[in-house]
Amino acid sequence: MQGSRVAVIGGSIAGCAATLAAVRAGAESVTVYERAGGELRDRGVGISLHDDRYRELHEAGYVTPEMPYKQLDRRVWTVRDGDAELGRGLATQPFPFRAYNWGSLWQELRRRVPEGVDYRSRAAVASVSQDPDGVTVRLAGGGEERHDAVVGADGYRSVVREAMFPHLTPLYAGYVGWRGAGSDVGGSWPDDGEARTVVFPGGHCVIYRILTADGGSRVNWVLYTAPPEELAEELNLDEPTSLAPGRLSSQLTTHLRQLVAKHFPPYWAESILGTPPDSTILQPIYDLEVPGYAQGRLCLAGDAATVARPHIGGGSVKALQDAAALESAWREATGWDAAMAAYDHGRTEIGTAMVAQARRLGRAQVEETPEWAALDEEQFQSWWQKQNRTPDGRSGFGGHALRRG
């Protein structure tokens, strides 16, 4: 690996982590191609890392205590109960997660990328092709560049994955996620350690606080449900897509607001409806398994590889774990074939397990929801344990353990 030229396609969380992996493994030069312009730190939605996964990633050197977060410790599953301000709690569960602002976490990772790395914004890649001696990267604006190896960290519409597995695309799960980060309404909100999951027929909404760049807080929320058929048709959801802030139609916005007003307890409805429509994201939910994480001089990381539905709470965990595994494989191997084979062997099976678990959780919490209001605490906990049980004992809510034991 020493003296190699490596390219990383994609410069978000997965891309910055993969860049650190390549540098630590001994690459002489690393070029990052990020298609977006401006600062990715402006993306203000929330993500979370399970405490156990954080400890593993901290030990591996990919996260630090200095990265700003809010500590969560419990989750209250909640259903509307007449005019009761906070609704009725169905069950309370441990919820040992660190809640991050996506933009802040990216900024901290970006800051740790060495100055010698060639990080390029507004550098869209049209395609990549490989031969026995390396990889050619063709830029959308014209021109091409050569590298010894390429890491695809370019998300669920990855051009690197397309080169490895032509015509393999994420499959629409049948429902969407609305996301936003609204003003903190304060008042009746429980202390910072509590997250809420508001449930309703055909879906649920996860709500928790995240920090802002100025040290304040916002209410991060993501609501999962199937859109009405007539609205789904206009979105063309069979093609991988998402609607950024400002792109939601008035019909979609009206549907969301009516759903929240009907099914949410008043306080939590205010938390959602207080988010300006022009800052709300609509994210169709997809999933995808890949035959492998590496092929020749190409490899995949984050959502460019397996795409797992967000219910597992491990998307960012997987991206950071991919980088840690990539660094380990590249450090220990004596050549590219061995390095890529070691990375592929370590991650493909884990990615497939996470996709399967996320499908189970999605089916239970969106596609085939129980009669929430009829469940008592014991019934609910039994239902949850059944959904979150996995054969290997390593995966589950919060992601997949990086190491055994």
- What is the CATH number for 154? 3.50.50.60
Report the chain's C-alpha Rg in angstroms.
21
Q: Which residues contact 191 (CB under 8 A, 6 or more apart)?
A: none
Beta bridge partners of 208: 220
Please indicate, yes or no, if residue 56 is contained in any of the structural domains: no
The span from the CA of 149 to the CA of 327, in Å, is: 14
* Total of domains in the chain: 1
Q: Is residue 273 part of a domain?
A: no
Is 28 domain-assigned? Answer: yes
Query: 130 φ, ψ to 5°?
Result: -120, 160
Q: For residue 222, give the amino acid letter.
A: V
Cα 47 from Cα 99, distance rounded (Å): 6
Query: Looking at the domain assignment, is residue 209 inside a domain?
Result: no
Indicate the DSSP class of residue 364.
I
- Residue 211 placed within a domain: no
In a domain, 12, yes or no: yes
- pLDDT for position 405: 36
Tokens found for residue 176: 């969407």
Note the pLDDT of residue 287. Answer: 93
Query: pLDDT (tens digit, 9 = 90+) per residue, 233-287?
Result: 777 777 777 777 667 788 888 899 999 999 999 999 988 988 887 788 888 999 9
Query: How far is Cα 309 from Cα 326, in angstroms, rounded to an integer?
Result: 23
pTM surpassing 0.85?
yes
Low-confidence ranges of the chain (pLDDT < 70): 38-44, 185-188, 190, 245-246, 390-396, 403-405
- Predicted local confidence at residue 163, as pLDDT: 97
64 contacts 53 by C-beta, under 8 angstroms: no
Is 58 a member of any domain?
Answer: no
Q: What is the pLDDT of residue 117?
A: 97
| Nearest in space to 181 (alpha carbons), one of 88, 105, 76, 103 | 103
Looking at residue 404, what is its pLDDT? 45
CB atoms within 10 A of CB 293: 29
Residue 375 included in any domain: no
Q: What is the pLDDT of residue 37?
A: 73
Which tokens hold the place of 95? 């919820």
Domain region containing 335? 5-43+104-170+288-367
